[in-house]
Amino acid sequence: MEVNHQNGWEQCLAIIRDNISPEQYDAWFKPVTALSFKDGALTVRVPSPYFLEHLEAHYLHIMVPALRRVFGADVKLFYSYDQVNHEPDTKVTLGGAMPSTAIPVTPPPAANPFKPQVEEVIDSQLNPRYTFETYCLSHSNQIARSIGEAIANDSKMKTFNPLVIFGPTGVGKTHLIQAIGIRIKERNPRARVLYVTARLFESQYTAAVRQNRINDFINFYQSIDTLILDDIQDLIGNKPGTQNTFFHIFNHLHQNSRQIILSSDVCPSHMEGMEERLLSRFKWGMIAELERPDLALRKDVLIQKAQQDGLQIPDEVLDYIATKVTDSVRELEGIVVSLMAHATVLGCEVTLDLARAVLANAVKINKPVINFEMVTEQVCSHFKVDVDQIFTSSRKREISDARQVVMYLAKKWMKMPLTAIGTRLSRGHATVLHGCKNIEDRLMVEKPLQEAIAEIEKHLA
């Protein structure tokens, strides 16, 4: 006579309750209910696949003796859960691991959403140009790159799992995360590595739901060894089904020591609209920032891109572009392409004038912000006087000249009111007016003063 599944499960729970703490029992066994017991197979319902994995990993040694005692030595255990919460159509039933007596049920072969037919080898969707060898290193990306190489070079390292790379648009996130995948494939060609954008993931999920193939979709992603998801912030918003499904995929991969690599325009703490349980998991591993490219990196990117395109760019042009284009590596590469196109069409060499013309049309050139301290420092540096001296009452010629030039340039460059200039120099309005007028008059007849101010303004610019 077969045991009633509900009564039998209650007996099992009583045995389990005696062997673990009340907190563990409430958290991991109270939510589990028995669905059926037929032909020696007990099916229990669990809230999620993560729940299943946690039970098998931490409590199987307690569950198995209890089940065999109540349901018999040959009992088999099956778990049932909804892949997507509150959507019964996504229900899955899997066999549990019953050591020495039962053979676990193997899920059906994984379906590849990239191709209509199931294939053992998948297309990793990696761009072969995005390697570590073509990724320029600098202080602004050193930490992120070092961690990425550590992951790529040692498949057993799971200290940085997941790895979340974040930074503004155009700083090289996509290049870096794909470089990790390419290195992993180089070291292990059989590794199932997949690069996919969050938008494509969302599109695939929507198609799977519409075609009633959600289980195939999930099984495929759970078969990946290294999942690289780009622009994870695109899952933010009114997409609970996608986020929930990714949550279960993430849990399965992480539980089975598969590497997860994510990129985002913002750090996880600023991802408003992302489920809290996902955000908490993003923080399990390593979060590394890619900063805006520093000057050295910008020049290296320009040199490398020019070499790849066979373009000769003079040093003064490289310096000019690297100084003016400061936000994006992608923008720098685009400038080189534009320079090459202009030089080819016009049949001329790359010059500073050509670079100015290209940048004028391609990017917004921000004028440097000049403040009073910058003016003061440049003037004092030129006249070789200590900055503090111009704030004193000294009437020495070199100090007085420097003070009046500061007044003149503060008015000209910063449009500061005379009273504001006087306040900074502890002088009255009339004194500042006299100083500015004096410099203006002298500039008309004194060539050395003209040259001095021209030199100072060159540095300010």
CB 128: neighbour CB atoms within 10 A? Answer: 8
Work out whether strand 76-82 and strand 91-95 pair parallel, antiparallel, or are unpaired.
Answer: antiparallel
On the question of pLDDT at 403 being above 90, the answer is yes
The tens digit of pLDDT for each residue in 236-261 reads 875 678 888 888 899 889 888 899 99
* Residue 168: partners with Cβ closer than 8 Å, 6 or more residues away: 265, 292, 327, 328
Work out the pLDDT band at 112, boundaries 50, 70, 90: low
CB 362 within 8 A of CB 328: no
Tell me the average pLDDT of the chain. 82
Region of poorest pLDDT, from 237-251, 335-349, 376-390, 399-413? 335-349
Please report the DSSP string for 108-175 in residue order: PPPP-TTSSS--SS------TT--STTS---TTTHHHHHHHHHHHH-TT--TT-SEEEE-STTSSHHH
Residue 2 pLDDT > 70: no
3-state helix vs strand vs coil in the chain, percent to 5: 55, 10, 35
Distinct helix (H) and strand (E) counts, the chain: 19, 9
**Residue 159 belongs to what H/E stretch?**
none
Which tokens go with 315? 């040093």
Which pLDDT value is given to residue 362? Answer: 64
Using pLDDT thresholds of 50, 70 and 90, give the confidence band for residue 195. very high
What mean pLDDT do residues 388-409 have?
90
pLDDT at 406: 93
Residue 162 preceded by cis peptide, ω within 30: yes
Whether the predicted pLDDT of 89 surpasses 80: no
Q: Per-residue confidence at 100, pLDDT binned at 50, 70, 90?
A: very low
Cα 105 from Cα 93, distance rounded (Å): 9
Pick 97 or 354 by higher pLDDT. 354
Residue whose token pair is 């449009």? 415
Is residue 168 over pLDDT 90?
Answer: no
- 38 pLDDT more than 70: yes
Percent of the chain with pLDDT over 90: 12
Terminus-to-terminus CA distance in the chain, angstroms? 93
List Cβ neighbours of 427 (8 Å cut-off, separation of 6 or more).
Answer: 421, 435
Contact 231, 264 (CB under 8 A): yes
What is the rounded distance in angstroms from the CA atom of residue 23 to the CA atom of residue 29? Answer: 10
pLDDT at residue 61 greater than cutoff 50: yes
How do beta strands 41-45 and 33-38 pair? antiparallel
Q: Which residues contact 6 (CB under 8 A, 6 or more apart)?
A: 34
- pLDDT winner (highest mean) among 19-23, 221-225, 278-282: 221-225
In whole angstroms, what is the distance from residue 437 CA to residue 431 CA? 10
Q: Is residue 28 pLDDT above 90, yes or no?
A: no
Strands 286-289 and 163-166: parallel
| pLDDT value for 103 | 31
